Amino acid sequence: MENNRQAEVDALSQRVLEAFVVRARRVEEHSLAADWDALVALTTMQMTVVQLDDGETLIRQVFPDEETVESAAARIRPILLEGDSCFYQKALKALGYFCRELPQDAAWIRATRAEWRSRVSPATPEEAGYWVAVSNTLTGQNYDLDRHKLAMAWIYGDVVHHDTTRRDEGNAFGLFERFRGAVPLVAWAMVGAIELLNYIRALHADGVLQLRQEVLDQPVALKSTTWEHSAQLYFAPVGTQAPKDASLPPSKDWIQLGRTADLSGFRTEAGGQLLRPVRSTNMPELPSPEEVEAARTPAGGWKRDQLAAWGIPWPPPKGWKDELATRWKAAQRAGVVPTNPAPSPDPGPVQGTLDFD
């Protein structure tokens, strides 16, 4: 019975750590974390004091743009929430369970837990770092709020929710004051999450933890937002039953879209162009022998940019025309129409009834 109980705790702790690792890796991929020193500097509320010639003193702070901090807040938010599986303190508790017989690691975990509480969940306004007091000269009302509450008003009132209670609480101080309070909290939460992530990685490498490798390797943030896949396209009249098995070719009712198809007939429900023919910059043109000859200049040669479009280097190597002709004939035998084909005949009214939604 005891063994079953320990196995359950082991499994639960493992799930918590793995959930944290996935989310913390996404935080690590944020642009604010690309410059570690700059991220750490944001946690310290650094200010510049400017003394003007007229005796006036200016206090200045420079922050990243709000949209960048907002996206960082969205990435770190599940780590701040007690109810989420990747909550920071849950991860520390799970780590403490696995390190319960390792005094040095257990001491690090205790210190880290205390620091997180003081920086992210301060118990008093004094622990929050600073507080702001403002007066309304028209009504005579006075307001004061500590940095942590200002930060929460921005995060939950302006950004990830529209919490009217928090927003009303911070409304008298203005959007920028709420944002100013949130920046060090978001930055420190990012720093704390990434440092804990690296500690977990080190324990995994030492064999103390046995995390699933895909948790450490799976993509967690997009490097590129251009979606491009090699594919075969098929079309059919509206109402044709869609294929249900992705591993099998479509039924005979579906026609493969060839390179000679008139793409202008493929429209969205709103009437916009659905498919647009664009030649990849990595894909050279494939001319017929007749097209090669037709491209000769009056001097009897070929222009450099024309050869480049065909994938031929400059100066052209010996036998380049024969190579192009061989490739063109091979494409014909394979049923692939070469680039710059003759205009295709009107495919008929059937294309006007296609539905690609």
pLDDT tens by residue, 186-227: 999 999 999 999 999 999 999 999 999 999 999 999 888 878
More confident residue, 288 or 330: 288
For 59, the enclosing helix (H) or strand (E) is strand 57-60
The amino acid at 331: A
**pLDDT greater than 60 at residue 256:** yes
What Å distances lie between residue 123 and 68, 118, 144, 277, CA to CA? 28, 7, 16, 61
What Å distances lie between residue 106 and 12, 98, 248, 328, CA to CA? 19, 9, 55, 69
Give CA torsion, residues 252, 254, 258, 263, to 10 deg.
Answer: 150
The amino acid at 348: G
Give CA torsion, residues 129, 132, 133, 135, to 10 deg.
Answer: 180
The amino acid at 192: G
For 146, the enclosing helix (H) or strand (E) is strand 142-146
pTM, whole model, 2 decimals?
0.72
More confident residue, 157 or 127: 157
Question: Mean pLDDT throughout 258-272?
Answer: 74
- Comparing CA positions, the residue from 182, 218, 209, 197 lying closest to residue 27 is 197
- The Cα–Cα gap between 83 and 286 comes to 59
Q: Which two tokens stand for residue 216?
A: 């450490």
Strongest mean pLDDT among 181-190, 218-227, 276-285, 326-335: 181-190
- The Cα–Cα gap between 3 and 20 comes to 26
Contact (CB, 8 A) for 310 and 321: no
pLDDT per residue as tens digits for the range 18-77: 999 999 999 999 999 999 999 999 998 888 898 888 889 998 999 999 999 999 999 999
Contact residues for 258 (Cβ-Cβ < 8 A; gap 6+): 337
pLDDT per residue as tens digits for the range 97-155: 999 999 999 999 999 999 999 888 888 777 888 888 888 888 888 988 999 999 999 99
Q: Please state which of the ranges 192-196, 282-286, 340-344, 346-350 shows the lowest mean pLDDT.
A: 346-350
- The Cα–Cα gap between 86 and 23 comes to 7
- The Cα–Cα gap between 297 and 3 comes to 85
Task: Look at the alpha carbons of 194, 198, 204, 205 in this order and tell me if their dihedral is positive or negative.
Answer: positive
pLDDT, the chain, mean:
85
Contact (CB, 8 A) for 240 and 246: no
- Comparing CA positions, the residue from 80, 88, 75 lying closest to residue 16 is 88
Q: Which residue has the tokens 């993509």?
A: 219
**pLDDT greater than 80 at residue 341:** no
**pLDDT greater than 70 at residue 278:** no
For 13, the enclosing helix (H) or strand (E) is helix 2-28
Contact residues for 314 (Cβ-Cβ < 8 A; gap 6+): 304, 307, 308
Contact (CB, 8 A) for 35 and 68: no
pLDDT of residue 259: 66
pLDDT of residue 330: 65
